Amino acid sequence: MPKSPSSEMRFHGLIPAFLDMMMAERNAAANTRAAYARDLGDAAMFLARKKVDLVDANEDDLRAYFRSLGKSAARTQARRLSALRQFYRFLCSEKHRKEDPTRSIDAPKLGRSLPKYLTEKEVGRLIETVAQYPGDEGLRLRVMLELLYAAGLRVTELVSLPVSAIQFDRALVLVRGKGDKERVVPLGEPALKAVREWLPVRKKEMESSKRGGGKKTSASPQASRLHSLPPPSRGGGGKSSPYLFPSPVRPDAPITRQRLFQLLKQLALAAKLDPKRLSPHVVRHAFATHLIEHGADLRSVQTMLGHADIATTQVYTHVASDRLSRTVAEHHPLAKGGAK
């Protein structure tokens, strides 16, 4: 039986209302809002094929939806269940429903998932490799890598950094993280030096953009790995950019997350590392793991990473412990059958 117009209005109106509430009342980031929208949209489409409105779905409807996910990763199912729970709690609080249909649905059990990370030697190889890239693009990527590793930034935090976030006199960076929360992370001299080198280049590029000039590219083999970017848009209107890493295409906007992912994959190949092992988040994991391996206390690492719950940070102690266990197993004589 087809839905009535009023049902369609209710379905399409309440999901945006829920997402707006997440941003207004809980300071959810734009990426978080987009993730909730995708997860709710996926459930809504499945139910729509069965002529059921997401707002009116019962427990059996939702269990059928989760069965349809089949062999989806447990974390994917857990995330979608979390999104649905919050949505139905919102509906109950707004008197659109009397009960939460997810209350008896158990989340899948999640095994301990250790974060991927790079060794100190591998990070050093990446920094040495990117230092050999000539030209402005090479310098920009080196500065971005230095900041990722020096401050453990999330990719969105890095690309949206304003110039004013770097405090040279205090040797730190001011970071606006998830939920619009601010934190302060100290910066070492290599990262500060790299930013100092970048700022005059950034200024030159911004001035060139205002004039509508093109972007020079290098013909060297190493520079070709960076894939030439298109020239800056002439439609920028001469606007200045607050961003430390403005987009070459739209100088009033930051470089995109996707572009940074591409550049890091290309850098991994140049450094003879598996590109699948390198991403901004992997560099963030390396930052935390290496700090703990060198004796940093968990609370300090939690603060620098911007974790709300220290349990999230504790996974890095497991990474360090597992690495130590492997070292003993591989190199201790008694671990190999005893001394001879």
The answer to which of 227-236, 269-278, 304-313 has the lowest mean pLDDT is: 227-236
**Chain mean position to CA 42:** 22
Taking residues 142-171, report their average pLDDT.
Answer: 95
Taking residues 104-129, report their average pLDDT.
Answer: 81
Q: State which residues form the domain around 293.
A: 120-323
Q: Which residue did the predictor score with more confidence, 327 or 21?
A: 21
Taking residues 241-265, report their average pLDDT.
Answer: 90
Confidence of residue 2 (pLDDT cuts 50, 70, 90): very low
Residues 89 and 141 placed together within one structural domain of the fold: no
Give the chain's domain count. Answer: 2
Q: What are phi and psi of 174, to 5 degrees?
A: -95, 120
Domain end residue (candidates: 36, 58, 93): 93
Q: Which residue is associated with the tokens 């929360």?
A: 181
Cα separation of 118 and 112, whole Å? Answer: 19
* Residue pLDDT, tens place only, 130-143: 999 989 999 999 99
Residues 248 and 147 placed together within one structural domain of the fold: yes
Q: Is the dihedral of CA 283, 285, 287, 293 positive or negative?
A: negative
Q: For the whole prediction, is pTM greater than 0.85?
A: no
Residues 134 and 19 placed together within one structural domain of the fold: no
Neighbouring residues of 218: CB distance < 8 A, sequence distance ≥ 6: 134, 135, 224
* CATH code, domain with 217: 1.10.443.10
Residues 86 and 127 placed together within one structural domain of the fold: no
Tell me the two tokens of residue 247: 């987009």
Residue 237 falls inside a structural domain: yes
Cα separation of 92 and 79, whole Å? Answer: 20
Residues 130 and 209 placed together within one structural domain of the fold: yes
* Residue pLDDT, tens place only, 278-294: 999 999 999 988 998 88
Q: Give the percent of the chain with pLDDT over 70.
A: 78
Catalytic residue set: 154, 178, 281, 284, 307, 316
Tell me the two tokens of residue 121: 């030697």
Residue 332 falls inside a structural domain: no
Residues 132 and 81 placed together within one structural domain of the fold: no
